[in-house]
Structure 1
Amino acid sequence: MAPKSSNSKCKTPQDLHFKPGSIVEISSDDDGFRGSWYVGTIIRRASTKNPNKYLVQYEKLFNDKAGKKPLREILDLVQLRPVAPREKQRKFKGTREQIVFGEEDLRLHREWDNGEWQPSLERVQEEKQEENEEEDEVKEEKKKDKLKEEVEPMITKEVKPIEAMTEEKVSKGMLVEETLILKEVKPIEAMSDEKFSKGMPVEVSSDEEGFEGAWFAATIVEVVGKDKYLIEYQSLRTEDDSDFLREEVDILHIRPRPPETIVVDRFKLLDEVDASYNDGWWVGVIAKVLADSKYIVYFRDSEEEMMFRHSELRLHQDWIGGEWILPSLAVKL
């Protein structure tokens, strides 16, 4: 049995993209409008003799002032193209003329070339992924470099008692790293013998998310058990704001109030400080010294920077082995 003959023809890009009802974009040759594209709809082919002419209807151009009668025109195929595909997110480059647009009013520019959009959406997505990976690598390297710059000057090679320093022969101009100790450091195991008495001003830390590393001023109300105390905060209040908040905390979350004998007229770059914020003291590093006794402080835990006045900062001290110790300092002798 002989096969049936077929009159079907291979569909061209023209047949696929410019059927009646297809949404298209329309260019204009009018002065002042060259290079712009308008959204419209294919109504039909305008002529059976010339397959490259189409009747189109504009979406937002009208024949009347009331805007109720959409403009229709017969246009050549070269003035038409399908609607370009759009990616989800993209950073856009500006021109010398600045106009504010919402992201929904912008798209990546593409050219309609030989029945295909260039560049393709797949290629743009690959380039975007590569770009994001490169940005992440650069950010990670900057973060490591910044942390290295902050930490290196504070590293102590060897901790020695201050009185021993006077016995060493140090060449003029030599840098010696030391730890300034307010008192003789007690062994760690002696901490269990350190007790807090009723009415003693203290600072209390929290393990709640978002409050790690912060210390809040409080007062010991009473001892409620072995290494456990009832405290009353000096700035945190109850939910109904009727009184200052009280709670039971263990000795690992309590420390005495730091001594106020250390007065700093001006903090220096990379000084480790406590910053007063949200009713607590937060450990940070001086990232920038500003005018008018103001500073930019960098917080390692949150990787954030904030501005503080001099009165809102204090030199950071660590409570170690039952004693207050200053961070390591590089001293030029």
Structure 2
Amino acid sequence: MDTVFPKGAEVEVCFDDPGFRGGWFTATVLRQPNRDNKIYVEYHTLIAENSKKKLREKADVVNVRPIPPREEHRTFKMSEEVDAFYDDGWWEGVITKVHDNDRFSVYFRGSKTQSTFPASDLRLHREWVDSNWVPPLEEVHQINLPEPEGSNVLRPEGPSKKYSAKSMPKFKKGTQVEISSDEEGFVGAWFVATYIKKVGNKYLIEHKHFTTEEDETEFLKETVDAQHIRPLPPEIPVVSRFKRLEEVDVWHKDAWWVGAISKVLDNLKYIVYFRNTKEELEIEKSDLRLHQDWIDGKWIRASAALTS
């Protein structure tokens, strides 16, 4: 059953624009969904362009969810998936360093950047699936979301990461790598390729599974920048089965797509949920691997989101 958002309800809204993926912005429902499945909302922290008034707009129902409950006095662990409050919204990331019980470094996959936050600006990352929070909460304390003084016009998701010559990844000719893309429809996917050479501040690669339109026998070549290339991730053996809520990569349409196990089926099959498209697919175990992130020259294993 679809969630019903009455007038006056506080919600969170995401955007389909590539620069805002992974971000959720709080809003109040001004008018319930119409026949076009649009909800009219007023944002709490976003200001309309050329105006001092809060931004109002119609949002697609699929981009709206309730405000996630939060635990009081929660601390966070290494590799835990969290949402961090900055740039007027909640942005999905992963804990990469625990400084103490109140400060944590968070890596954001969408912008390939890393920042440090106090615990008060973090919450455990959860997905709204079939009108339920995944993972569910054991003890729920509803907390009002922060509204910082002064709001800004919509901004893209953080600054782009700068690479110095010394920090640029280094590969040998013929090395197998994986590359990603910000192009619409390919966000969340990693494609297998062969490294050829460095071209200025970019890398020339040859795809392993995609051919050119002109000659389908010739593999496609392209240049990518440092934030879109990484080594092949090391294989992590799965002893028996993947677990529910575990983050995985799925081999689908000649690429690895990041998702999460939403249901364990019989006969070594699983239902996998894809956040970027909000879709679920039935996948065999042989087409899955444990998800890892390449952060600052190291592989980080994002553990399954757990309640505490």
TM superposition score normalised by structure 1: 0.45
Greater CA radius of gyration, 1 or 2?
Answer: 1
| Bigger fraction of residues in strand | 2
